[in-house]
Amino acid sequence: VWDVLVVGGGPAGVTAALRARELGASVALVERGRLGGTCTNDGCVPTRVWAKAARLLRDAAQFAEYGILGPEPRLDFPTLRQRTHETVLRIHEKKQIRRHLEEAEITVFENAGDAHFVDERTLQIENGKTLSAEKIILCGGGHARGLSFPGSDLTIAPTQLWSLEALPRSAVVVGASATGCQIASILNTFGVTVSLLEMEERVLPREDATLSAGLTEAFALRGTSVLTGIGPIERIERFGEEENVAQLRVHFSQGDHPASLSAEAVIVATGWTGSVEGLNLSAAHVIAEKGYIRVDDSLRTSAPHIFAAGDITGRMLLVQSAYEEGRIAAENAVCGTERQDTHRIVPHGGFTDPEYGSVGITEADADRSDAVSAVVPYADLDRAVIDGRTEGFCKLIVSRSTHRLLGAHVVGEQALEVVQVIAAGMEAEMTVDHLADLELAYPTFTGILGLAARQICREMGLVRQARDRVGLEHPRATEWEHRAGTATST
């Protein structure tokens, strides 16, 4: 009998096991397949490799502008496939997850098949062995929420892309959340004709509306057709073959009208659901709702000695949140504490073209009477002009009463890196005038935060004026990186 048994060897499970061991507990970890989880094996790492390839193609498209001449590079898909698999292996070699766990004296059961409860303190694995523990942390992650309609077996899940033999010439991507948008954007850069379908009224429906609008505009400029507000997919049929490749037709409705699109591949990125099916949760009195394990902010399930962390809780579906939840679940399980995680500050985004990044509250969620925001176009940044990447903007939101940073939403080059700075500022309770005075390196993309902060300071009357000028007129922008008449505030 161990003190703690962790189910799942992805970011949440590995972190939970290591933290529980660090706190002195005896720990076992069971993984049904290969350690590393969706993150390493078929999610973030392969996506990022493809995003890097797309990035290189975009950079190559600028070569001639900077006087670098030569034949136009093109994508060799078999080489990218190999690079993707090699990178996953390299990450495994670097992480040495099993050795790392075993060196911490954690007992590891890898390739153990689905662990399932036989009673509230015991799980059984494929070879019939039973594992018992005082506390259990469920970190089984999730899987693509497949849709069920005639022809749904002809679709591809995002996690299956890395095993494709060849790149399709055309693709319909269903679902315009983070994964769908990234895949659509990357495939478009690879030269695939892409249509992106979304049932909600806008792409990235949970992000700030300006971010959705910015990305939709960028997609349109690059020839990706975006259809939002569609009805459910009704059926997919094969209607022929071209050069030995099946041609598919996707049927759906738009408004009251039937609509259809043809493509060689249909990629369904319509959501994620917790891997709860194989666990036999009822034997442990653990409640799952809408496909995810129900937890409170201490990550405790409906059974007081059982915790859950990561995607299986359905709270954030992000790696950084999975390992933070893993740490917290371990501390609460081992120490009996009630440390809570409400995911208030979680910078996130996507490697689309251009990137987008977000942290904190959206403008729609902000208290209108208190929030003040500025939107600064990337075209104002000297660095954006130097790099030939002037597309995009940075929206910064702050509180009028406390002057604290509330959120940032960025579309543009290095957007994810830019919002991380705001995340650090929010955690440190930084105020907008402090951000405005920060001597951010020049010329950088992060410098846009200084422009946005100083614009808000001017709006809020936080800019010091000569005594006889106070209240006379709106202060002028004192900006080295100036471009007249572009920035807006609300």
Ligand X SMILES: Cc1cc2nc3c(=O)[nH]c(=O)nc-3n(C[C@H](O)[C@H](O)[C@H](O)COP(=O)(O)OP(=O)(O)OC[C@H]3O[C@@H](n4cnc5c(N)ncnc54)[C@H](O)[C@@H]3O)c2cc1C
* Cβ closest to ligand X, residue 114 vs residue 353: 114
CB nearer ligand X, residue 43 or residue 214: 43
By the rule CB under 6 A, 10 interacts with ligand X: yes
For 458, the enclosing helix (H) or strand (E) is: helix 448-459
260 alpha-carbon distance from chain centroid: 29
Member of 6, 9, 108, 392 binding ligand X (CB under 6 A) = 9
Binding mask 456-485 for ligand X (x = CB under 6 A): ------------------------------
- Residue carrying structure tokens 């929010």: 426
Backbone phi, psi, residue 200, to 5°: -75, 175
What's the min distance (Å) between Cβ of 27 and ligand X? 15
Size of the site for ligand X (CB under 6 A): 36
122, 176, 319 from 309: Cα distances, Å: 19, 26, 11
Question: Using the rule CB under 6 A, which residue among 19, 25, 29, 43 binds ligand X?
Answer: 43
Q: How far is the CB of 313 from ligand X (least distance, A)?
A: 8
Stretch that binds ligand X, among 11-19, 286-294, 337-345, 401-409 (CB under 6 A): 11-19
**Residues whose CB falls within 8 Å of the CB of residue 80, separated by 6 or more in sequence, listed in order:** 49, 50, 53
CA angle 480, 375, 195 (to 5 degrees): 125
Q: Which residues contact 103 (CB under 8 A, 6 or more apart)?
A: none
Nearer to ligand X, 119 or 241 (CB): 119
User: How many Å apart are CA 486 and CA 477, to the nearest integer?
Assistant: 12
Q: Does 108 bind ligand X (CB under 6 A)?
A: no
**Interactions with ligand X, residue window 122-161 (CB under 6 A):** 139-141, 158-159
Residue 357 or 450: the one with the smaller Cβ distance to ligand X is 357
The helix (H) or strand (E) run that includes residue 117 is: strand 116-119
Region 258-277 residues binding ligand X, contact defined as CB under 6 A: 275
The answer to whether 179 contacts ligand X (rule: CB under 6 A) is: yes
Whether the Cβ atoms of residue 54 and residue 353 lie closer than 8 Å to each other: yes
The correct pick among 2, 28, 29, 37 for binding ligand X (CB under 6 A) is 37
Nearest approach, Cβ of 201 to ligand X (angstroms)?
24
Q: Which helix (H) or strand (E) holds 137?
A: strand 130-138
> Least CB distance from residue 141 to ligand X, whole Å?
2
Give the integer Cα–Cα distance in Å for 187 and 185: 6
- Cis omega (within 30 of 0) on the bond before 443? yes
Residues 170 and 176: their CA atoms lie apart, in Å, by: 17
Q: Does 279 bind ligand X (CB under 6 A)?
A: yes
Chain length of the chain: 490
Q: Which is nearer to ligand X, 114 or 363 (CB)?
A: 114
Range 306-325, binding ligand X (CB under 6 A): 310-312, 317-320, 322
Residue 453 binding ligand X, by CB under 6 A? no
432's enclosing H/E stretch is helix 432-437
Residues that bind ligand X (CB under 6 A): 7-13, 30-33, 37-39, 43-44, 47, 114-115, 139-141, 158-159, 179, 275, 278-279, 310-312, 317-320, 322
